[in-house]
Amino acid sequence: MTASLKKKFPRGISPVGIAVLMAVVLIVWLLLGDWRSASDEAPMAQQVPAQKVHQVETRWSQAQPITREQVLQGQLQPWQQVRVMAQVTGRVAQILKQQGEQVTAGEPLLLLSDEGRGQELEQARAIFRLRQKELASARKLRASNYVTETEIIRLEGEVARAQADLSAAQLAVEYNRPVAPFDGVVDRRYVEIGELVQPGAELMSVVNVTQLKGTAQIPQQDAHKVEEGQPVIIRLLDGRELSGEVRFVSLAADPQTRSFYVEVEADNPELWRVAGGSATLRIQLAPVLAHQLSPALLKLGPDGSLGVHAVDDEGRVVNYSVEVVSITDEGATVAGLPTNVQIITQGAGFVDPGQVVDTLVVPVGDDAKDPDMVESQPLPGMGAAE
């Protein structure tokens, strides 16, 4: 057996060495095969998993014109109101107008005792005439150089002083009969016949309520909406209404409340007794195109503004900033959306602006999937679009 093996293998090479040599040759052959395969074939491209497209439910909403209102709580005042006061000392001699009576501008209201003012007026007139004659005579003598220029100037001053005294005396006599400052009604009387009054004492109060003045304060964030000339509906506490318009909006805010003063004028043809009372001022703002939707669809942005997610014509999510016009039991009415828009009603919380989505449009009137999905209907107070 040993002798036969020695005859088959050359001398000096054992069977173990042959096995090792064959193993080395096999490894080299395998490595050469892998290298050739790598150099002949390009590596397979890495497959990127396809991005998942979210599906959202949407509905089409058509904007409708709506008339907005700025509601303010204010008060009504007479268009004109003055307290007539005494300007001279005297006793009330006669009351010419009673409370509730109509008066015209310049009409006497009562009569005060003269207290010698009539005599002072006559004296002032006489002195004024005397000073005028003295001046006229001096000017004639001046032409003949019998009177100096200085004397003429002194006499002119005396005439001016006499004229001022005469005007004061005339006013004092006129103050014996206080008059109405404008057309109106005697609202209050504060004196009685025989009562002694001093300058500054209140005699009567005269008001003009054929027109009323409504005043209120508007918050600074809403002041830009109100302009002069806008119509106003004034609702009284008992439900009655008056029509008016904005007459004035202050340019500077109150430093305490940071609000702006608003003044409204309204006619009061029936002379309702409402001056001094509270009222609701409903200022009619310019109409806007608005959509009605569920308040749950409103999203709060990073900057604190409200927005609504919708889908554009390319199937991408768009967030529109909106302004809430009103909120009622029927939903929120918002402005700022396109006239015709595809609003996301389900799945808005799982998508971001710019993302492509697959839409499932809910038909108009189909509220089986979402009770909040109601197609925009004509809103209260809507008129034809301007």
Chain segment 45-86, per-residue pLDDT in tens: 566 555 677 888 999 999 988 888 899 999 999 999 999 999
Which range, of 20-29, 229-238, 314-323, 348-357, averages the lowest pLDDT?
20-29
pLDDT of 305 > 90? The answer is no
Q: pLDDT tens across 164-223, in order?
A: 999 999 999 999 999 999 999 999 999 999 999 999 999 999 999 999 999 999 999 899
**Beta strands in 104-172, from DSSP E residues, in sequence order:** 110-112
Query: At residue 172, what are phi and psi to the nearest 5 degrees?
Result: -60, -40
Please state the pTM of the whole predicted model.
0.62
CA distances from 35 to 26, 42, 381 (A): 15, 12, 82
Helix/strand/coil for 229 = coil
Do residues 113 and 150 touch, judged by C-beta distance below 8 A? no
pLDDT of residue 19: 75
Residue of 189, 224, 191, 230 lying closest to 206 (CA atoms): 189
pLDDT of 285 > 70? The answer is yes
Distance CA 26, CA 160 (A): 141
Give how far the C-alpha of residue 386 lies from the chain's centroid of Cα atoms, to the nearest Å: 22
Dihedral in degrees, nearest 10, Cα atoms 229, 235, 240, 243 = 0
Task: For the chain, give the mean pLDDT.
Answer: 84
Q: Are strands 241-249 and 317-321 parallel, antiparallel or unpaired?
A: unpaired
Q: Which residue has the tokens 């000392």?
A: 89
Higher local confidence (pLDDT), 301 or 298 = 298
Residue of 274, 288, 261 lying closest to 234 (CA atoms): 274
The architecture in CATH of the region 73-77+210-284 reads Beta Barrel (2.40)
Q: Which residue has the tokens 């052959």?
A: 29
Distance CA 233, CA 352 (A): 44
What's the distance, Cα to Cα, between the start and end of the chain in Å?
Answer: 119
CA distances from 350 to 53, 330, 344, 357 (A): 11, 26, 11, 10
Q: Which two tokens stand for residue 42?
A: 């390009």
How many CB atoms are located within 10 Å of the residue 288 CB? 18
CA atoms within 13 A on the CB side of 122: 3
The architecture in CATH of the region 55-68+288-361 reads Beta Barrel (2.40)
pLDDT of residue 50: 56
pLDDT of 372 > 80? The answer is no
Q: What are the domain boundaries of the chain? A: 55-68+288-361, 73-77+210-284, 114-175
